[in-house]
Amino acid sequence: MKIFSRSLSLITAAAAALTLTVSASAEDLGSVTVMGDSIASGYGLEGYVSGDNYSASGSFGSIISESCGKYTNLAVDGRTTSELLSALQGEFADAVVRSDKVIISIGGNDYLRPMIMAAYTKLGEDTEMLSKVMSGELDTTDMTELMKPYFEDAIAAAAAVEPSDVAANIKSITDEIAYLNSGCEVYLFTIYDPFEAGGDEMAAAYSLAEAELAELNSEISAMEGGNIHVVDVYGAFKGHAAEYTNITAGDIHPSAAGHAVIAELLANELSESEAASDDTYDAEFFPVKPSPETGAEGVIVMIGAAALAGAAVIFLGKKSRR
């Protein structure tokens, strides 16, 4: 029944694609869809509005959208690889059927989510700390030392994530796209490491990230071939984390300069392949997907150089972005 249902859905979507199309310029990139996480949504950039993936004009997606016959951004802040895979097997299927190219930024939250949960768990177990935070009596003179146990638990949680499991999910994502639309070109990002610019306080995070990302990015790079194109964001950001991310302000997301670099990388990759067709889907057929609160910046701030010290306050003062 599942196979029959999915096949019927694809037939329906394909038929709709033939009747709900508009002509695209032969010079554009065709129908381009961005999927993934908060890097793809433009989180942290000037003008960014949660839930509106088109609000940040400086995002890599907004930059390349000017060359697209049709541009759709379905990124969701905090999204993990398994969540994106589920979406492709459900509400995102039609978007893939109607896309010439799909751009994917995914994988970072597979590490961040466990870190968030580990820190929350640690805080919940520390009733004395909890009481001080809630009463406003927390001594902030040496918060770095005070928050060290939380940071250590978060790092341990990230270390427990198997890069091969994340890579397997990404491979399943590309397989699903190929199943839905065999002619669709897929552009996968490698995952950059922002922690190199975090100083001594970020040394543990940097060491872990380098080891984990070396394995994960290697597996992502091995997926190159056929309709799969790997965009080496890691390589481009290496040595430039202070400039290309907002890590010095406690935020791991790309800065405006970082998004510009990603857009340039994409432009080079995208220009090498022409649009698969001269048709694009009707924009109204795909409602804008929101970027709901996910918890991502809770850990981002926690592991940031400055806000590492104030993690507990942030956890209690802000709802988890889910």
Instruction: Enter the pTM of the model.
Output: 0.77
- CA dist 47 and 42 (Å) reads 9
Average pLDDT estimate for 110-115: 92
> How confident is the model at residue 151, as a pLDDT?
83
Contact 101/185 with Cβ under 8 angstroms?
Answer: yes
User: Domain with 262 in it: what CATH number?
Assistant: 3.40.50.1110
In a domain, 236, yes or no: yes
In a domain, 40, yes or no: yes
> How confident is the model at residue 204, as a pLDDT?
81
Of 188 and 147, the one with more pLDDT: 188
Closest CA to 303 of 255, 259, 246: 246
Domain count, the chain: 1
Percent of the chain with pLDDT over 70: 73
DSSP element (H, E) containing 213: helix 203-221
Where residue 197 falls among pLDDT bands split at 50, 70, 90?
A: confident
> How confident is the model at residue 229, as a pLDDT?
97
Where residue 46 falls among pLDDT bands split at 50, 70, 90?
A: very high
In a domain, 223, yes or no: yes
In a domain, 125, yes or no: no
- CA dist 69 and 179 (Å) reads 23
> How confident is the model at residue 273, as a pLDDT?
64
Write phi, then psi, for 99 (nearest 5 degrees).
Answer: -105, 140
CA angle centred on 188, ends 105 and 97, rounded to 5° = 90
In a domain, 251, yes or no: yes
3-state SS record for 154-208:
HHHHHHCCCHHHHHHHHHHHHHHHHHHCCCCEEEEECCCCHHHHCCHHHHHHHHH
- Taking 50 as the threshold, does the pLDDT of residue 120 lie above it? yes
In a domain, 147, yes or no: no
- Taking 80 as the threshold, does the pLDDT of residue 93 lie above it? yes
Residue 187 domain boundaries: 2-109+163-292
In a domain, 52, yes or no: yes
> How confident is the model at residue 140, as a pLDDT?
65
> How confident is the model at residue 196, as a pLDDT?
84
CB contact set of 6 (below 8 Å; sequence gap of 6+): 89, 93
In a domain, 301, yes or no: no
Closest CA to 227 of 193, 184, 196: 184
> How confident is the model at residue 141, as a pLDDT?
67
Average pLDDT over the chain reads 79
Classified as helix, coil or strand, 226 is coil
Q: How many residues does the chain have?
A: 322
